[in-house]
Structures are given as structure tokens and as C-alpha cells.
């Protein structure tokens, strides 16, 4: 009987110790499974989450593997309900919002570095290929950006018409586009090269300048298609 009555107190005490530890050191002193255990506190308030944290990391390989796992797969894991799966799926999305907020574009966007810093956070936690467009005025001052297209894990349709509509809406004629390879490296495919060249020519006939096209790999690496040689004008 004594053991049973001590269990809830021990459980609460462990959580309080973990919270105090976090307040003192952040996650610097936490192992990945401990950080996951801590996160699970907020989805599973009355059970020990240490065992589940270990199980999830063993199943998906890492903390990142857990939060990047599809929702449909997570909820099939014993001990993970819809509430827990939704909490886990929030992490990459919140991280992307956080990084984008920190990387608000500077007024003048006239270097590859400035564009890479701007676009890179936008692809965090994206399971499929997506395309962003951004525009500047004649003095390279940032004007606006927009998600233009969303595709599959390995395919993306890019419409010149959508890019033209963006330029007309913002009354600009200088744009930069960026897309990701969520399961690969920042290496242009043959389709990437052909599409970029066709877009540049089509837009040029409409007096719109495609300044650059950036490709981002699954690990955040990037390449400039202009520096690569795919853009000529």
C-alpha cells in the first residue's frame, strides 16, 4: 500500500525536478529522449512519459525523426493518441514560424546570402516540394513574398502565369523564386534546369526579370541557379 500511495507523489516530484532543471539550464543538459519526455508532459499529464519517449526515438531513430513522422504513423504507435500526435507535429511548424520571424527580410535584398537567409526557414518541416516567390523594386528593396505552388515529395508544377499574377498584384518586375528537395540534396535536376531556363525566357518577354532561383536540400543546404549557370539574362 505504501508503494502505491508514494507513486503519484514521486511522479509529480519527477516532473517538478525536470521543470526546474529546464528553467536553470534549458535543454542544454537534456539528452534527446529527456527533451522528448519533457515535451510529452504537456500532452500526457498523468502518466510517466519516459518509457514512451524512449520507444518513440527507438522507433523513428531520433528526436527529429519523431516530430517529422507523419501524423497517421504516430497515432498508430501504442501510447500516442491524437492529442499527443498533434503536439509532436506542431514542433517543426512552430520552429519554422520562429525562424521566419527572426529572419524578417532586410530592406535591401541584393545578395545571394540575404536571399538564402530569407528563404531557408520557409522550408523547415515541409514534407513536400513547394515554391516561393519574392519580389523587389528597382532599388532591390524587398516588397513581398508568397507561397505559389505545392507539389508532392518529388514533383512540383511551376506556372509562369502564377508568377506573372504575383508581379502584377505588387506592381513589380523583379522576382526571385525558391523551391525545396525535401528528400534530396540541393542539386538541380534536369527538369529544374529546363524549367528555370523556360521561365526566365517567358518572363523576360513580359519584361519581368527572374533574378535568381534557389534550391534547398533536406539538410538546409542551398544552391543559386544563377551562380550555377542556369540563368543567363
> How confident is the model over 91-124, as pLDDT tens digits?
999 998 888 887 777 789 999 999 999 999 999 9
Chain centre distance of CA 18: 28
Q: Same domain for 176 and 205?
A: yes
pTM of the full predicted structure?
0.73
Q: Which of 65, 189, 198, 66 minimizes the C-alpha distance to 129?
A: 189
pLDDT category of residue 4 using cuts at 50, 70 and 90: very low
Q: Which residue has the higher pLDDT, 178 or 104?
A: 178
Under 8 Å CB-to-CB from 185, ≥6 apart: which residues?
Answer: 217, 218, 219, 221
Q: Are residues 109 and 202 in the same domain?
A: yes
State the Cα–Cα distance between residues 105 and 115, nearest whole angstrom.
8
Residue 131: inside a domain: yes
| Mean pLDDT value across the chain | 91
* pLDDT tens column, 150-176: 888 878 888 899 999 999 999 999 999
Domain match, 86 and 60 both: yes
Q: CA-to-CA distance for 82 and 22, rounded, in angstroms? A: 26
216 within domain boundaries: yes
Output the pLDDT for position 102. Answer: 77
Residues 138 and 214 in one domain: yes
Domain tally for the chain?
Answer: 2
The answer to the question of residue 233 being in a domain is: no
CA-nearest of 162, 173, 211, 215 to 193 is: 215
Q: Do both 60 and 122 map to the same domain?
A: no
Residue 10: predicted pLDDT? 63
Q: Of 99, 134, 169, which residue sits at a domain end?
A: 99
- Please report the beta strands in the chain, taking only residues with DSSP state E, as ranges in sequence order: 130-136, 142-150, 174-180, 209-216, 222-224
Domain with 116 in it: what CATH number? 3.40.140.10
pLDDT at position 34 over 60: yes
pLDDT at 131 over 80: yes
Parent domain of 122: 105-228
Residue where a domain stops, chosen among 99, 118, 144: 99
Amino acid at each position: 500500500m505504501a508503494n502505491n500511495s508514494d507513486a503519484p507523489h514521486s511522479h509529480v516530484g519527477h516532473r517538478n525536478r525536470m521543470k526546474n532543471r529546464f528553467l536553470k539550464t534549458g535543454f542544454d543538459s537534456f539528452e534527446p529522449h529527456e527533451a522528448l519526455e519533457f515535451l510529452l508532459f504537456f500532452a500526457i499529464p498523468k502518466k510517466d512519459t519516459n518509457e514512451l519517449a524512449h520507444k518513440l526515438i527507438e522507433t523513428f531513430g531520433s528526436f527529429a525523426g519523431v516530430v517529422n513522422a507523419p501524423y497517421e504513423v504516430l497515432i498508430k504507435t501504442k501510447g500516442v493518441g491524437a492529442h499527443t500526435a498533434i503536439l509532436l507535429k506542431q514542433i517543426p511548424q512552430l520552429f519554422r514560424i520562429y525562424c521566419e520571424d527572426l529572419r524578417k527580410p532586410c530592406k535591401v535584398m541584393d545578395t545571394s546570402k540575404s536571399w538564402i537567409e530569407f528563404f531557408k526557414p520557409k522550408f523547415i518541416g515541409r514534407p513536400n516540394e513547394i515554391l516561393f516567390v519574392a519580389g523587389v523594386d528597382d532599388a532591390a528593396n524587398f516588397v513581398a513574398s508568397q507561397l505559389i505552388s505545392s507539389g508532392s515529395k518529388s514533383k512540383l508544377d511551376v506556372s509562369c502565369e502564377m508568377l506573372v499574377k504575383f508581379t502584377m498584384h505588387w506592381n513589380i518586375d523583379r522576382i526571385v523564386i525558391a523551391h525545396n528537395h525535401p528528400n534530396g540534396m540541393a542539386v538541380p535536376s534536369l527538369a529544374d534546369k529546363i524549367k528555370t531556363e523556360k521561365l526566365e525566357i517567358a518572363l523576360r518577354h513580359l519584361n519581368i526579370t527572374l533574378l535568381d532561383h534557389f534550391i534547398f536540400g533536406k539538410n538546409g543546404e542551398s544552391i543559386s541557379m544563377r551562380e550555377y549557370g542556369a540563368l543567363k539574362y
